[in-house]
Amino acid sequence: MSALFSPARLGGLQLNNRIVVSPMCQYSARDGIAQPWHLIHIGNLMMSGAGLVIMEATGVDAQGRGTLGCLGLYSDAQEEALAELVRQVRPLSSAKIGIQLQHAGRKASTRSIAERWKGEPLPMDEGGWPVCGPSSEPFDKDWQVPQAMSHADIGRIIDSFAAAAVRADRAGFDLVEIHAAHGYLIHQFLSPLTNRREDAYGGSPENRMRLALEIATAVRAVWSQEKALGFRLTSTDWHEDGLTLDDAVVLAGKLKAIGIDYCVMSAGNIAPGIKIPPASPGHQVDFATRVGRETGLTVMAVGMIGQPKEAEAIIAEGRADFVAIGRAMLDDPRWGLHAAAALGVDVDYPPQYLRARPNNWTGYRHIHPETPHFQASRQADRPASMLWDRPDDGPQPATEEVVVSPKTSRL
């Protein structure tokens, strides 16, 4: 019996397993509107074997988008495109589908697609736009000086999160995740490194948490209890004057009291030039464990969880309730199905792909000879007519030459 593949509740949702596709920006929207790329990308991930797929950070207003290629959810056209996407991908599997809502604050208006990785601001004469933040300190030299937000601005942003959640509901999403990490607007208010305000939204930890909690309350009021609502939080700023895991525990407890269903514990990216310890497999899991144990809130672990056995151990040992997988899913969009095979779990396959299922395709033996799924299928009493299912067959021609290379094998 696999813990990773055990069903679980998340808020009002029933999920088939504990595997979540972590939100990942695609920088491929036009005017914030989802394109065919998003349909193909998310459609593919719906067939990954994950129980939940969360779509990328999506701007709650035009100013809050990170890049010109980021999704938005503040216009009818954006809502309709996402509603159509949800309609199209829903029948592909039993996975639930969520969306992450965000405002990039002083980190908005940056370059898109491949250029994005340089993390450069987008100049006004190339389509950039004015940015805002808790204070008027730019992210880095040569970045725009943000407009320090007035109380009216703050009120508008809170309303924008709630309005985007209403649109997400109408578009058919099962889950909303609020992005309060990675140095974006909510994180900028939370962190003493970026919040220099002296009003009710700055100074003490309570004041710095105010925006996050007001957004949580506003979104909770419009988001159905039958769905799920979560927050992505920062576990540490990796800076002696910044946020720590103690702060995250306090915030997670307050979010739980408001009725938030889960948090996913990430870290970093509040400011440039901070020395961060090198990442290693599962490097952020302990953050999630502590938050979960001390608050009782459902927690997701994220960050370099790539091996099925590691993911299984995290859930089996009660270190997190869910594992969110990012890059490993981009690299191998059938990660969940391959994890099931590696752990010896029988899961549903898309019928179109059934002939590639490890117990129907002996080529799998040559790629992953040790997997319990394969060994169990050898002993099972399977119909002799099943294509490829001939236990004493030698190597299958052609395909294995291509796939046996260690470079193409992940498990």
Ligand X SMILES: Cc1cc2nc3c(=O)[nH]c(=O)nc-3n(C[C@H](O)[C@H](O)[C@H](O)COP(=O)(O)O)c2cc1C
Cα separation of 176 and 165, whole Å? 7
Binding mask 254-293 for ligand X (x = CB under 6 A): ------------x---------------------------
Q: Which residue is closest to ligand X by CB?
A: 326
Residue 57 in the binding site for ligand X (CB under 6 A): yes
Cα separation of 260 and 248, whole Å? 14
Binding mask 190-229 for ligand X (x = CB under 6 A): ----------------------------------------
* 254 phi/psi in degrees, rounded to 5: -70, -35
Binding-site member from 34, 104, 311, 328 for ligand X (CB under 6 A): 328
364 is catalytic: no
- Rounded to a whole number of angstroms, the minimum distance from the CB of residue 55 to ligand X is 8
Q: Would you mind telling me the total number of residues written for the chain in this entry?
A: 411
Binding-site member from 4, 10, 20, 25 for ligand X (CB under 6 A): 25
Element (H, E) at 365: helix 363-367
Binding-site member from 24, 148, 213, 403 for ligand X (CB under 6 A): 24
Interface with ligand X (CB under 6 A), residue total: 19
Residue 179 in the binding site for ligand X (CB under 6 A): yes
Instruction: Between 179 and 256, name the residue whose CB sits nearer to ligand X.
Output: 179
Instruction: Between 313 and 376, name the residue whose CB sits nearer to ligand X.
Output: 313
Residue 304 in the binding site for ligand X (CB under 6 A): yes
- Rounded to a whole number of angstroms, the minimum distance from the CB of residue 369 to ligand X is 27
- Rounded to a whole number of angstroms, the minimum distance from the CB of residue 97 to ligand X is 15
**Residues with Cβ within 8 Å of residue 381, at least 6 apart in sequence:** none
Instruction: Between 107 and 357, name the residue whose CB sits nearer to ligand X.
Output: 107
Residue 232 in the binding site for ligand X (CB under 6 A): yes
Residue 100 in the binding site for ligand X (CB under 6 A): yes
| Catalytic pick among 184, 262, 349, 364 | 184
**Residues with Cβ within 8 Å of residue 283, at least 6 apart in sequence:** 277, 303, 304
CA distances from 299 to 46, 295, 302, 309, 402 (A): 22, 10, 10, 19, 40
Residue 410 in the binding site for ligand X (CB under 6 A): no
Cα separation of 360 and 174, whole Å? 33
Residue 111 in the binding site for ligand X (CB under 6 A): no
Residue 378 in the binding site for ligand X (CB under 6 A): no
Matching residue, tokens 């220099």: 196
Contact status, residue 67 vs residue 110, Cβ threshold 8 Å: yes
User: Given the rule CB under 6 A, which of 17-25, 29-37, 152-160, 255-263 is the region that contacts ligand X?
Assistant: 17-25
Binding-site member from 59, 98, 183, 303 for ligand X (CB under 6 A): 303
Binding-site member from 86, 104, 248, 325 for ligand X (CB under 6 A): 325
Residue type, 208: R
- Rounded to a whole number of angstroms, the minimum distance from the CB of residue 143 to ligand X is 20
Cα separation of 360 and 354, whole Å? 7
**Residues with Cβ within 8 Å of residue 389, at least 6 apart in sequence:** 359, 360, 362, 377, 382, 383
Residue 43 in the binding site for ligand X (CB under 6 A): no
- Rounded to a whole number of angstroms, the minimum distance from the CB of residue 183 to ligand X is 11
Residue whose C-alpha is closest to residue 157's, from 78, 103, 220: 103
Give the DSSP letter string of 189-253.
HH-TTT----STTSSSHHHHHHHHHHHHHHHHHHS-TTSEEEEEEES--SSTTS--HHHHHHHHH
Residue whose C-alpha is closest to residue 184's, from 131, 241, 114, 262: 131
Cα separation of 237 and 234, whole Å? 7
- Name the pairing type of β-strands 52-59 and 8-10: unpaired
Instruction: Between 157 and 233, name the residue whose CB sits nearer to ligand X.
Output: 233
Cα separation of 138 and 146, whole Å? 6
CB-CB neighbours of 125 under 10 Å: 6
Binding mask 338-377 for ligand X (x = CB under 6 A): ----------------------------------------
User: Given the rule CB under 6 A, which of 18-26, 187-195, 240-248, 335-343 is the region that contacts ligand X?
Assistant: 18-26
Residues designated as active site = 184
Site for ligand X, rule CB under 6 A: 22-25, 56-57, 100, 179, 182, 232, 266, 302-305, 325-328
